Structure 1
Amino acid sequence: MSVNKRVLHVFSSFEVGGSQRRFATYISHTNTNCEHMVYAMDGCYDAAKLVQNSKLSIADNINITKGNTRQAIKQIKQYLKTETPDLLVTYNWGATEWVMANVFSKICPVIHVQDGFGEDEQNTEKLTRRLMRMFAYRQCNTVVVPSKTLERIARRNWFLPEGEVSYIPNGIDIDRFICPEDIGFARSIGIDPDKPVIGIVAALRPEKNVGRLIEAFSKVEDEIDGAQLVIVGSGIGTSAMKMLAERVCKPGRVIFAGNMENPEKLLPSFDVFALSSDTEQMPLSVIEAMACALPIVSTDVGDISHMVSGQNAPYISGNNAESLADNLIQMLGSHEVSIRIGAANQAKAKEQFSLKTMIDAYDSLFTHHGKLAQD
């Protein structure tokens, strides 16, 4: 009789962010015979509501000491020995202690998923973290990266051999985002569908630098009559962003829509999708906007300039409010060009960023690694 493989996924937080949304999408669509458990080190499990089936359980029977790495590693090691998962999957720097706990004991196989870096490493890796990653990640069975930029970093900075790095592009349910505009819903959150709409979907964290987009928009609204900025998402920066918008933008032009489980309800109301991050790799929000046939204007970070269509690439440039504003004004200034670019983006999303491709890749990875696969 076959036994289900038990896979433990560890996040620093299971808040509604890019890696958590991707994971929730995977769990909702995978058909493999695995039991998936998730542990959030900060106790936040908001993204669990995005899972559309009962394949996910919460591993809430552990309490790791905060602020004492040695004690935390000791507790993690004991937990892994007691629970004996068939596979441990860790996500980003915040879960590195779990990798370290498994390094010497080799309690179970480990896959590490690296989506990018936080605000404190947006320009360069901290030396101590780089050395830790170089040591810890080389002990993993494989390290998964969603972008070519990260793949280069994994090989150049962490000296991971080619066979230990798995490049898996993010994928989405493209058809879910090919839908008509819901004018009634747009009006319900304060949007005027007859006026130009710039939109962003992002957690309001420092590295997303939504303040840069608000500053850019203050210049756009002086040039584009009736322009509106819609911000979908929330986070620790919400209050500060609202204060900034009140100070530099015209009243009522910046709309804070909060978190939205189904962004496809609002994306068709956007004329342009904008991103103003200091650091990204392969953001799901950009793929979703592309699937919705939207043109993209963004800072030039991560893989974004390569993700979008060739026609859209010139609008992915710079890292300041001025270049963002200039590109937004150009894009909104020509409806025909923006429609053509949006159609090209949608075609590329269908071709390269499908959900099935991503699901198959993770299924293969999780099935191949693990104690049951090795027995």
Structure 2
Amino acid sequence: MNAVASPRLRPISTPSSQPTASSATKRALRTTFVITSMPVGGAETLLVNLVRGFDDSQIEPSVVCLKDRGPLGQEISSDFPVYDRLLKHKYDIGILNRLTKHFRREKTDAVITVGAGDKMFWGRLAARRAGVPVICSALHSTGWPDGIGKLNRMLTCITDGFIGVAKSHGEFLVEQERFPKSKVFVIPNGVDTRRFAPSTNAYQDVRTELGIPSDAKLIGIVAALRPEKNHGLFLQLAKRLQEKNLKTHFVIIGDGPERASLRVQRATMGLQHCVHFLGSRSDTPRLLAAMDLFVLTSHNEASPVSILEALACEVPVVASRVGSIPDTVLDGWNGYTATPGSVSDFEKRVQSILDRADESKEFGRNGRQFVESHASLQNMVDCYTDLIGRIYEAKQKRS
């Protein structure tokens, strides 16, 4: 099981085999990540871990948020430059000049847009106008209604690299988004296994905090409360499992536009006593370590970091069989994948793990082993450093 890109794609070489940023330039490369905002979410958390992980002798990171910086942007603003509110309204074309001037003023060496949509378009176009040597787009999803969109696809010619998060995601970018193979790179998502680790103290402390029995089974989901995450199925699953075992409790970690409607569904289904909405939390590692099982019910995903975080905490996973999830959740080894949208299949898979304590523990150990071998934070940081440095060096040689 290798998380590196398939031979069809252009793989990231190991940092030691190619010049890194510092060896190519003798100074740190000023690298700006462009994102809409930084609420608590998977892609945003990855970005926080990435900028914190860079060696400042090689990469000098900063973040531009088109809108409000959000809680995670605020969190890192004391350590790294974070600029926000550059986009005044939805149809603000003045953003192009403001971003262009910003990149020129900061003498930016590399721009990496994070996600699709407006930041992918304006960030790359402004970078080109400003003469930024390295222009890349990091993509974390496959669920856009019209792909990345015609306007964003028009800028393929000025883009040096499109970054996918798993082998199958890279293949999707080539086959479905029609990006040139030579411009598609795969950098697996990475998790800080020092923060995300098993904890017997958390197991009991969280149950005490929630006011539930110390021997209660705890099943959780960590995901923004948006339609594509399909929390409604999670509630249906909770209803079925609760009817079988009154000591089973459920936690929903995250916030978003679906919060009010989901709370109404919880009440309608009579689950107020066992389904706990915890909102956005800064102690996710502790909450994950308290779970017996992690469930992700999404309609679509690329390679969700929440699954990697759960596995790092030695928590088995049951997740929708979509995107690159089958590359991470290996059936019968660290969890199970389930048919998207099928509460019956989810129930079957979850019940199988709950009924077999020894198997559950083995799944947990296997999960952490997988993360340590295939999804380390350091590998992700090294790959980004290497990619930026290699593209920059190639541009310098041609200039």
Q: Does TM, scored on the shorter chain, surpass 0.5?
A: yes
1:244-255 equivalence runs, <5 A: 244-255=265-276
Question: Hey, what's the Cα distance between the residues in 2 that align with 1:114 and 1:318?
Answer: 24
- Partner SS for 2:207: helix
Question: Hey, what's the Cα distance between the residues in 2 that align with 1:235 and 1:199?
Answer: 17
Per-residue CA deviations over 1:307-326 (Å, capped at 9, x if unaligned) read 02342477212112232222
1:42-121 equivalence runs, <5 A: 42-51=67-76, 54-60=78-84, 63-68=86-91, 70-94=93-117, 95-96=119-120, 97-103=122-128, 106-118=131-143, 121=144
Cα offset, 1:99, TM superposition: 1.6
- Partner SS for 2:252: strand
Contact 1:8 1:85 in 2 (8 A): yes
AA partner of residue 190 (structure 1): G
Question: Hey, what's the Cα distance between the residues in 1 that align with 2:334 and 2:30?
Answer: 42
- The aligned counterpart of 1:150 is 169
Determine if the alignment matches structure 1 residue 11 to structure 2 residue 35. Answer: yes
Query: After the TM superposition, which of the residue ranges 5-14 and 26-35 deviates more from structure 2?
Result: 26-35
- The aligned counterpart of 1:136 is 155
Question: Hey, what's the Cα distance between the residues in 2 that align with 1:314 and 1:258?
Answer: 25
Question: Hey, what's the Cα distance between the residues in 2 that align with 1:12 and 1:131?
Answer: 19
- Partner SS for 1:356: helix
Cα offset, 1:108, TM superposition: 4.0
Per-residue CA deviations over 1:335-360 (Å, capped at 9, x if unaligned) read 22222222222221221111221111
Determine if the alignment matches structure 1 residue 346 to structure 2 residue 368. Answer: yes
Contact 1:84 1:108 in 2 (8 A): no
Contact 2:141 2:301 in 1 (8 A): yes
- The aligned counterpart of 2:254 is 233
Contact 1:306 1:313 in 2 (8 A): no
AA partner of residue 35 (structure 1): E
Contact 1:230 1:256 in 2 (8 A): yes
- The aligned counterpart of 1:161 is 180
Cα offset, 1:4, TM superposition: 4.1
Question: Hey, what's the Cα distance between the residues in 2 that align with 1:7 and 1:341?
Answer: 39
- The aligned counterpart of 1:176 is 195
AA partner of residue 336 (structure 1): D
Residues 25 and 162 (structure 1), Cα distance of their counterparts in 2 relative to 1, 3 Å cut? same
1:188-203 equivalence runs, <5 A: 188-203=209-224
Determine if the alignment matches structure 1 residue 361 to structure 2 residue 383. Answer: yes
Question: Hey, what's the Cα distance between the residues in 2 that align with 1:112 and 1:44?
Answer: 19
1:326-345 equivalence runs, <5 A: 326-345=348-367
Question: Hey, what's the Cα distance between the residues in 1 that align with 2:165 and 2:299?
Answer: 18
1:296-335 equivalence runs, <5 A: 296-312=317-333, 315-320=336-341, 321-335=343-357
Question: Hey, what's the Cα distance between the residues in 2 that align with 1:351 and 1:260?
Answer: 27
- The aligned counterpart of 2:146 is 126
Residues 3 and 373 (structure 1), Cα distance of their counterparts in 2 relative to 1, 3 Å cut? farther
AA partner of residue 145 (structure 1): G
Contact 1:108 1:370 in 2 (8 A): yes
Unaligned runs of 5+ in 1: none
AA partner of residue 317 (structure 1): A
Residues 75 and 372 (structure 1), Cα distance of their counterparts in 2 relative to 1, 3 Å cut? farther
AA partner of residue 229 (structure 1): F
AA partner of residue 326 (structure 2): S
- Output the aligned Cα RMSD: 2.6
Question: Hey, what's the Cα distance between the residues in 1 that align with 2:337 and 2:365?
Answer: 17
Question: Hey, what's the Cα distance between the residues in 2 that align with 1:359 and 1:106?
Answer: 25
Query: After the TM superposition, which of the residue ranges 28-37 and 251-260 deviates more from structure 2?
Result: 28-37
Cα offset, 1:100, TM superposition: 3.0
Cα offset, 1:294, TM superposition: 1.3
Per-residue CA deviations over 1:19-40 (Å, capped at 9, x if unaligned) read 1101111222221323322111
- Partner SS for 1:261: coil
Unaligned runs of 5+ in 2: 1-24
Looking at both structures, which has the greater relative contact order when contacts are Cα pairs under 8 Å and sequence separation is at least 6? 2
Cα offset, 1:69, TM superposition: 6.1
Residues 292 and 63 (structure 1), Cα distance of their counterparts in 2 relative to 1, 3 Å cut? closer
Contact 1:6 1:87 in 2 (8 A): yes
Per-residue CA deviations over 1:201-257 (Å, capped at 9, x if unaligned) read 112122212121111211111123311111111222222211111111433100112
Contact 1:138 1:160 in 2 (8 A): no
- Partner SS for 1:200: strand
Q: 2:245 aligns with which of 210, 218, 224?
A: 224
Question: Percent same amino acid at aligned positions?
Answer: 22
Contact 1:13 1:40 in 2 (8 A): yes
Contact 1:130 1:157 in 2 (8 A): no
